């Protein structure tokens, strides 16, 4: 080996390795899924690059990954002929975690292994999972299109550091050699490996091959009268695919099992947990494409990081084009993972071409509709599961009415709120639930918003509503104010803040109480004028109110002014 160097792992990698080895012990076979998944990604990347430079195939265009074992050396080798890595890439990709927000994520870990191992699930494990079963990992790689002398060897025991050295490597691609821990010898078993591949990697779209020993010529089954059967010819040793090796999304829905959909999700999303829900569709007609869209079960730790990549994996006619194509999903559905395979886009499509493209737009509309439909169906058929979705992603969905005018009503029907009906902070009341409980003569949907649920719940504005038994939605998320500015109507009913302007309860007001109110106002004649003089410029007006039953007074914003919540938001933003 030449030019050998030792590098330290990024701190977060060290933490990840520690946690992973302990927490994934009962599920250690997933290391193979992760390594095969990376090999398939490497094949996708090569195919894409070769679209514009066919020489990268180096006369070997049959992309595949091969598994082999060496029982004497105690090793498993996973070898692909994909894109490969240069020395710099290997140091970067196998020494750091290239995800923004990682540092923050790790700084939040509690140090309690049981708790933290749950968090790491949503983080994804990837290459480093090799160390669950191996106490030494050797990676030999050579990037497509470079000279055989530019190979690189990476080696680590999964502790603090790794070495890299220059090597000669004739074959393009990456070879990962796992030196198994003493108690992990079960993975040397051919049958065990095959069953792991079919469990986790059947959907991978390149062949996952294992070596089959030579089968000598033998006798076929004997005939009915005991005469010898025909000879079955010898089969020379060969590499044999042990997976289906077809693109899962091209298969018929009825041929794909739930488990396959779940494993495929883990492959494309780099998530570790099962998805909550998915929808697989072949769209024909003016624009033709296949979509496979997933809703994760957990929000990623970086969902609020605006720079974080999101979007769908894009294929054109089965050829992988790019990850994170964000043009196909509105921002308020940024939690959706999945892929699109278009028949119409050109193979040389770029992010620039995708922008302002009619085909893109049609696909985006189609996908948006699919996701909303999938959520509607879930809400209708499985409220409990829908609630799980809402608790994870509800606050993102609330960006919908502002962003997507054409689907405003649909998104609104998916929203869930806390309300005085339940009087707790669980957000599980839909606008339709609310409407079904509206009082005779009530024509508006009432809400109050505050900094916290406790503040909303004890708002003095609520008093008259509680007295009259009228339900009020209790809003306390930061985004709610923004939401309500854009959601002024649902199902032809106005949404009305109860802390805004003159509250006109319309037909809910009865004649008797109006009379009583007038009398009450007469009793305190002169008070208004005195308060006005005292407060002077500080307020724009002082009025009688009959909204309050226990509190003596409250501050309101006039009908067109900024709400107190919005004022606080603006102040927080430094305006
Ligand atoms: P992820 O797959 O989520 O990116 P991994 O930890 O599995 O994370 O892999 C880290 C990176 O290492 C990959 O993104 C890729 O750039 C590189 N890599 C891993 N395995 C291979 C491989 N077989 N061929 C080429 N690059 C690879
Ligand atoms: Mg990976």
Candidate from 36, 38, 152 with most ligand 1 atoms within 8 A of CB, to mutate: 38
**Among 391, 387, 415, CA closest to 401:** 415
Nearest residue (by CA) to ligand 1, atom 11, is 93
Q: What percent of the chain has pLDDT over 90?
A: 68
Q: CA-CA distance, 418 to 424, in Å (whole number)?
A: 7
Q: What is the pLDDT of residue 129?
A: 92
Query: Predicted confidence band at 91 (pLDDT cuts at 50, 70, 90)?
Result: very high
Name the one residue in this structure whose structure tokens are 């909550």.
276
Q: What is the pLDDT of residue 224?
A: 84
Q: What is the pLDDT of residue 18?
A: 85
Q: What is the pLDDT of residue 559?
A: 60
Query: Predicted confidence band at 502 (pLDDT cuts at 50, 70, 90)?
Result: low
Average pLDDT over residues 357-364: 95
pLDDT for 157 beyond 90: yes
Q: CA-CA distance, 321 to 170, in Å (whole number)?
A: 27
Q: What is the pLDDT of residue 544?
A: 72
Q: What is the pLDDT of residue 558?
A: 65
Percent helix / strand / coil, the chain, rounded to 5: 40, 20, 35
Lowest mean pLDDT among 13-17, 314-318, 388-392: 13-17
Q: What is the 8-class DSSP label of residue 557? A: B
The predicted-structure confidence for 54-88, as pLDDT tens digits, reads as follows 999 999 999 999 999 999 999 999 999 999 999 99
**Among 405, 435, 397, 408, CA closest to 303:** 397
Crossing angle of helices 113-123 and 11-23, in 10° steps, is 110
Q: Give the distance (Å) from ligand 1 centre to CA of residue 293.
A: 23
Average pLDDT over residues 484-509: 83
Collect all residues with Cβ–Cβ distance below 8 Å to 488 and sequence separation of at least 6.
494, 495
Nearest residue (by CA) to ligand 1, atom 10, is 93
Q: CA-CA distance, 391 to 425, in Å (whole number)?
A: 12
pLDDT for 574 beyond 80: no
Task: Give pTM, 2 decimals.
Answer: 0.82
Nearest residue (by CA) to ligand 1, atom 20, is 38
pLDDT for 563 beyond 60: yes
Q: CA-CA distance, 254 to 142, in Å (whole number)?
A: 40
**Among 289, 291, 265, 290, CA closest to 277:** 265
Nearest residue (by CA) to ligand 1, atom 17, is 93
Which residues have C-beta atoms less than 6 Å from ligand 1?
Answer: 34, 38-39, 41-42, 80, 82-85, 93-94, 124, 126-127, 174, 270
Q: Which ligand is nearest to the CA of 42?
A: 1
Q: CA-CA distance, 369 to 283, in Å (whole number)?
A: 12
Q: Give the distance (Å) from ligand 2 centre to CA of residue 52.
A: 25
The predicted-structure confidence for 129-155, as pLDDT tens digits, reads as follows 999 999 999 999 999 999 999 999 999
Q: What percent of the chain has pLDDT over 70?
A: 92
Q: What is the pLDDT of residue 308?
A: 74
Query: Predicted confidence band at 51 (pLDDT cuts at 50, 70, 90)?
Result: very high
Candidate from 46, 93, 154 with most ligand 1 atoms within 8 A of CB, to mutate: 93
Query: Which residues, listed in sequence order, are joined to residue 187 by a DSSP beta bridge?
Result: none
Residue 173 Cα: closest atom of ligand 1: 24
Question: Mean pLDDT score of the chain, rounded to an integer?
Answer: 90
The predicted-structure confidence for 396-439, as pLDDT tens digits, reads as follows 999 999 999 999 999 999 999 999 999 999 999 999 999 999 99
**Among 470, 537, 478, 474, CA closest to 507:** 470
Q: What is the pLDDT of residue 183?
A: 93
Query: Predicted confidence band at 501 (pLDDT cuts at 50, 70, 90)?
Result: low
The predicted-structure confidence for 531-556, as pLDDT tens digits, reads as follows 888 888 888 777 777 666 667 777 77
Q: What is the pLDDT of residue 553?
A: 72
The predicted-structure confidence for 221-236, as pLDDT tens digits, reads as follows 888 888 888 888 999 9
Average pLDDT over residues 227-255: 92
pLDDT for 272 beyond 60: yes
Q: Give the distance (Å) from ligand 2 centre to CA of residue 39.
A: 8
Q: Can you say how many angstroms the Cα of residue 490 is from the centroid of all Cα atoms in its chain?
A: 29
pLDDT for 182 beyond 60: yes
Candidate from 30, 36, 41, 92 with most ligand 1 atoms within 8 A of CB, to mutate: 41
Q: What is the pLDDT of residue 90?
A: 97
Higher pLDDT among residues 530 and 162, named by residue? 162
**415 and 314 in contact (C-beta within 8 Å)?**
no
């Amino acid at each position: 080996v030449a030019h050998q160097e030792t590098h330290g792992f990024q701190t977060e990698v060290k933490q990840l390795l520690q946690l992973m080895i302990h927490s994934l012990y009962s599920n250690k076979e997933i290391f193979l899924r992760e390594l095969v998944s990376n090999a398939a990604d490497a094949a996708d990347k090569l195919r894409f690059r070769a679209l514009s430079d066919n020489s990268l195939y180096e006369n070997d265009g049959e992309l595949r990954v091969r598994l082999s074992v060496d029982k004497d050396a105690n090793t498993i080798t996973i070898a692909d002929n994909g894109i490969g890595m240069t020395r710099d890439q290997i140091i970067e990709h196998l020494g750091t975690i290239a995800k923004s927000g990682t540092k923050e994520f790790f700084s939040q870990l509690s140090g309690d292994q049981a708790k933290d191992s749950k968090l790491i699930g949503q983080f994804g494990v990837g290459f480093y999972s090799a160390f669950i079963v191996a106490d030494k990992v050797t990676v030999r790689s050579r990037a497509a299109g470079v000279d055989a002398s530019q190979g690189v060897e990476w080696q680590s025991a999964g502790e603090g550091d790794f070495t890299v050295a220059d090597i000669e490597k004739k074959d393009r691609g990456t070879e990962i050699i796992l030196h198994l821990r003493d108690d992990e010898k079960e993975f040397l078993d051919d049958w065990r490996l095959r069953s792991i591949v079919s469990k986790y990697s059947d959907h991978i779209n390149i062949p996952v091959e294992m070596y089959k020993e030579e089968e000598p010529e033998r006798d076929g089954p004997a005939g009915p009268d005991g005469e010898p059967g025909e000879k079955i010819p010898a089969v020379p040793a060969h590499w044999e695919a042990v997976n289906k090796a077809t693109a899962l999304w091209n298969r018929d829905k009825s041929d794909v099992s739930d488990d396959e959909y779940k494993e495929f999700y883990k492959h494309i999303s780099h998530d570790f947990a099962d998805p909550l829900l998915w929808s697989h569709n072949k769209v024909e007609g003016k624009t033709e494409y296949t979509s496979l869209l997933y809703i994760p079960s957990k929000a990623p730790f970086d969902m609020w990081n605006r720079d974080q990549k999101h979007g769908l994996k894009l294929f054109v006619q089965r050829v992988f084009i790019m990850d994170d194509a964000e043009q196909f999903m509105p921002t308020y559905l940024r939690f959706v993972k999945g892929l699109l395979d278009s028949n119409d886009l050109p193979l040389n499509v770029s992010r620039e071409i995708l922008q302002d493209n009619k085909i893109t737009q049609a696909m985006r509309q189609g996908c948006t509709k699919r996701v909303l439909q999938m959520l509607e169906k879930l809400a209708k058929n499985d409220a409990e599961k829908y609630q799980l979705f809402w608790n994870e992603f509800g606050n993102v969905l609330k960006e919908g009415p502002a962003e997507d005018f054409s689907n405003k009503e649909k998104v609104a029907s998916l929203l869930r709120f806390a309300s005085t009906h339940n009087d707790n902070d669980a957000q599980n009341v839909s606008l339709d639930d609310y409407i079904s409980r509206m009082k005779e003569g009530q024509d508006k949907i009432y809400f109050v918003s505050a900094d916290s649920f406790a503040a909303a719940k004890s708002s003095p504005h609520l008093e008259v509503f509680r007295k009259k038994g009228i339900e009020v939605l209790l809003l306390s998320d930061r985004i709610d104010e923004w939401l309500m500015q854009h959601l002024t109507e649902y199902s032809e009913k106005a949404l009305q803040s109860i802390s805004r302007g003159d509250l006109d309860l319309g037909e809910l007001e009865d004649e008797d109480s109006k009379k009583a109110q007038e009398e009450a106002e007469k009793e305190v004649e002169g008070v208004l004028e005195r308060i006005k003089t005292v407060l002077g410029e500080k307020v724009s007006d002082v009025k009688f109110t009959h909204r309050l039953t226990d509190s003596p007074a409250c501050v309101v914003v006039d009908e067109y002014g900024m709400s107190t919540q919005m004022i606080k938001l603006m102040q927080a933003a430094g305006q």
